[in-house]
Amino acid sequence: MTTTATVPDVSGSRPTLSLAASTAGLRVLASAEWPEAAEDRVVPAIAGFVVSSFSPLAAEATRRCLLRRPATSQRPVTAVVLVSPLGDLAGAVHVAEAVDGAGRVGPLLFFQAVPNAVAGHLAARWQLTGPVVSLGDTAAGLAVTALLLADGDAEQALLVRVDQAPTPGGQDRAAAVLLAPGPSRHQQGAQP
């Protein structure tokens, strides 16, 4: 199955990510983002991931999204598709500064140096047994998601987008949508 719709490379906002998924012909089962409310000031930390907000952002958006998924007695095979145009920007900057200053780079930073580390963490934490893929933009993430679902590699797909602010003081964001094949409820007027 190929998707012919043009999908803009969206920001991390949930409504925009849900709309992009709908435009790609996917059904949105649940969605979430970070931040969602004024109380969302500091993203919750996760064990084993240090220095950067990248992995905690992905984990919190995923947690919120999967807690909102429809109840089912079966666990569908679910892929994890992680999208980030810049990857773990804060982690990369930290490592570069440490190396430039002849400082020590902690061993946990080696583990989390690639976005697949948090994608694997999410798959293990939530018992998601489908493929794990990391990509640089939303359009590619949606195309891969559609292929995984169409080919039967997964029954559902968790698409997570993480955007760290490129400048100090900017807003870090993440959004997650749980997707299935078929038309989105958005096309029928319902909100996920």
The answer, yes or no, to whether residue 90 has pLDDT greater than 70, is no
What is the average pLDDT across 127-141?
Answer: 96
Q: What is the mean pLDDT of residues 134-138?
A: 94
Confidence (pLDDT) at 47? 83
- pLDDT (0 to 100) of residue 161: 96
Strands (E) across 66-137 are located at 78-83, 132-135
Q: pLDDT tens, 41-62?
A: 889 998 877 668 889 999 999 9
Give the residue extent of every domain in the chain: 14-70+77-187
The amino acid that residue 60 corresponds to is E
Question: What is the model's pLDDT at position 12?
Answer: 46
* 0.75 surpassed by pTM: yes
Q: Which range is least confidently modeled, 47-51, 121-125, 180-184?
A: 47-51
Provide the strand spans (E) within the chain. 26-34, 78-83, 132-135, 156-163, 173-181
Say yes or no to pLDDT of 25 above 90: yes
State the DSSP code for 43. P
Q: In the CATH scheme, what is the homologous superfamily, with its name and number, of domain 14-70+77-187? A: Thiolase/Chalcone synthase (3.40.47.10)
Question: In whole angstroms, what is the distance from residue 36 CA to residue 3 CA?
Answer: 30
Backbone angles phi, psi at 4, to 5 degrees: -100, -10
Nearest to 61 by CA among 16, 11, 22, 13: 13
Which 3 state secondary structure label does DSSP give 145?
helix
